[in-house]
């Protein structure tokens, strides 16, 4: 079980591709009940408080994913009352947006993640994203997300943002990945790709994370 959890890549924090693995289930009837996206919202997430065995502890990495004071204020404002109004990020630096996005994932705030995605050619329905997220938190201990981010995303806040023009850019940052025998980690660099819409930097859902070395 531990090896299985360790094998999860950093994209697992964000539900492994946001809908790409969901296959439609044939329905015995032609009638489908749909809910307007405006009616689909976040509900409280209960973080377990019982016994917990950190599956990443054997890797020996002591880094931590943390928010700066300014990023914490942004997260608090964004998540207050499950509002998730992305207008608060207008003019905000890309790294600050990315940090808040990650924190939403660590706390199971799927709607906070969803609203910060830039969807291009592979739009994911909000209802589908909600269902995947709630299934994940129901079957996996959400605390593993933070322990995983402590290793893979702890240096995101110290990354360098590269503006590629045409409202595109990426954050390049130091990270870690597992060794071939799963006994430890090796240093790598990753990129988190973003798109700018109406002066708001958003997570590019089609590209997201890319290992560059």
Which three-class secondary structure string do you get for 132-147? HHHHHHHHCCCHHHHH
Taking CA atoms, 27 is separated from 18, 31, 126, in Å, by 23, 9, 20
- pLDDT given for residue 34 in this prediction: 67
- pLDDT given for residue 37 in this prediction: 86
**Chain length of the chain:** 213
- Note whether residue 52 is domain-resident: no
- Note whether residue 25 is domain-resident: no
- pLDDT given for residue 6 in this prediction: 35
The whole-angstrom separation of Cα 179 and Cα 190 is: 16
The whole-angstrom separation of Cα 184 and Cα 181 is: 8
Asked if 110 contacts 135 with a C-beta cutoff of 8 angstroms, the reply is: no
Vertex 64 angle, CA 58 and 67, to 5°:
160
Tokens of 27: 């329905």
Q: Which of 122, 119, 104, 130 is nearest to 204 (CA)?
A: 119
Tokens of 160: 């360098």
Q: What is the span of the domain harbouring residue 192? A: 2-17+61-211
The whole-angstrom separation of Cα 210 and Cα 119 is: 17
- Note whether residue 39 is domain-resident: no
Number of domains forming the structure of the chain: 1
The whole-angstrom separation of Cα 193 and Cα 202 is: 9
The whole-angstrom separation of Cα 30 and Cα 92 is: 46
- Note whether residue 24 is domain-resident: no
- Note whether residue 145 is domain-resident: yes
- Note whether residue 30 is domain-resident: no
- Note whether residue 98 is domain-resident: yes
- Note whether residue 53 is domain-resident: no
- The dihedral built from the CA positions of residue 180, 181, 187 and 191, taken in this order, carries a sign that is positive
Mean pLDDT by 10 residues, the chain (213 residues): 36 42 44 73 94 93 97 98 98 98 98 96 92 95 97 98 97 94 92 98 95 87
20 phi and psi, to 5 degrees? -70, -20
Mind listing the pLDDT tens digit for each residue in 143-195?
999 999 999 999 999 999 999 999 999 999 999 998 988 889 999 999 999 99
């Amino acid at each position: 079980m531990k090896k299985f959890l360790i094998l999860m890549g950093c994209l697992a924090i964000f539900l492994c591709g946001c809908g790409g693995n969901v296959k439609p289930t044939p329905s015995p009837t032609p009638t489908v009940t749909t809910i307007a996206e405006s009616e689909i919202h976040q509900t409280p997430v209960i973080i377990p408080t019982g016994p917990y065995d950190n599956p990443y502890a054997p890797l020996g990495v002591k880094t931590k994913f943390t928010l700066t004071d300014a990023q914490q204020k942004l997260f608090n404002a964004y998540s207050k009352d499950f509002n998730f109004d992305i207008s608060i990020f207008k003019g905000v630096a890309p790294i600050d947006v990315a940090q808040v996005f990650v924190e939403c994932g660590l706390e199971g705030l799927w709607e906070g993640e969803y609203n910060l995605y830039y969807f291009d050619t592979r739009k994911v329905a909000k209802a589908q994203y909600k269902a995947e997220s709630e299934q994940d938190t129901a079957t996996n201990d959400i605390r593993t997300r933070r322990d995983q981010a402590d290793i893979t995303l702890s240096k995101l806040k110290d990354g360098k943002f590269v503006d590629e023009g045409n409202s595109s850019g990426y954050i390049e940052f130091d990270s870690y990945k597992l060794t071939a025998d799963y006994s430890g980690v090796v240093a790598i660099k990753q990129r988190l790709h973003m798109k700018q819409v109406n002066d708001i930097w958003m997570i590019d859902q089609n590209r997201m994370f890319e290992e560059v070395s």
